[in-house]
Amino acid sequence: TDDNGNLTGFDVELLKEIERRNPDLHFNFKPMAVDAAFVAMDAGQVDMIANQMRRNPTREAKYYYTNEVNNYSTRKLVVKNDRNDISKLDDLKGKKIAVTTSSEFNELVKQFNETANPQIEVIYTDKAGAETLNLVATGRADAAGEYEYVINSAIKDRGLPLKAVGDVLAVVPTYFLSKRTDDMKQVNEKIDKTMKEMRADGTLKKLSEKYLGGDYTFDPTQK
């Protein structure tokens, strides 16, 4: 939210710009946790989820995604800013890492632990990045794996004593996700068309730099 209590942020401002360019579209924003948003969408209470949604087969079978990528979320390790002993997963053997249960990073840590000796001790949470970063900042976890823009925001806006370290562990393209209806298929097509225009004229990059702290509109592995 901004200083006046209005919803803002990358996804919100992206949809506001799409709305501005398409007078026949209007988005009514309802803040809620992601799990609650899926329940609300299944119940017909909302039409779309705008919260950095990544693709997975289960969701693709049930919902529609937009085709244009909103941004590429780069995940890195995050530690307290006074630590210099951790820069990769191998440095976390025998140490504690905070992991969101529904993240792709959870799978990465599970795979690593299959051959690690000693294993990384995993602290699971279902409260997303806010909780994993808090666990690291308070010393209850040695590290977490979070999206770089989330780390930057926590440092800038919340003053948490953190820093991102090491190489990029994963690059995750994100999209809007909607009900699987003919109406929403048409809405998604308008969104995709407009986002292509915004990518071409530099608007998407400007929004990313303003709200995510950098240009995350391209796949860094394809530079």
Which tens digit of pLDDT belongs to each residue from 115-160? Answer: 999 999 999 887 677 789 999 999 999 999 998 888 888 888 888 9
> How many structural domains compose the chain?
2
Residue 222 lies in a domain: no
CATH no. for residue 211?
3.40.190.10
Are residue 147 and residue 98 in the same domain, yes or no? Answer: yes
Model confidence pLDDT, tens digit, residues 56-101: 889 999 999 999 999 998 889 999 999 999 999 999 999 999 998 7
Are residue 165 and residue 83 in the same domain, yes or no? Answer: yes
Are residue 138 and residue 194 in the same domain, yes or no? Answer: no
The whole-model pTM stands at 0.77
Q: Please say which residue of 156, 171, 186 terminates a domain.
A: 171
Strands 64-65 and 143-147: unpaired
Are residue 38 and residue 109 in the same domain, yes or no? Answer: no
Model confidence pLDDT, tens digit, residues 30-66: 998 888 899 999 999 999 999 889 888 899 999 999 9
Structural domain that includes position 33: 10-70+173-215
> In the prediction, which pLDDT does 34 show?
82
Residue 3 lies in a domain: no
DSSP 222: G
Are residue 85 and residue 130 in the same domain, yes or no? Answer: yes
How far is Cα 196 from Cα 198, in angstroms, rounded to an integer?
A: 5
Are residue 161 and residue 76 in the same domain, yes or no? Answer: yes
Are residue 96 and residue 143 in the same domain, yes or no? Answer: yes
Strands 121-125 and 162-178: unpaired
Other Cβ atoms within 10 Å of 79 Cβ, number:
24
Burial class (CB in 10 A: 0-12, 13-18, 19+), 177: buried
Model confidence pLDDT, tens digit, residues 193-208: 999 999 999 999 999 9
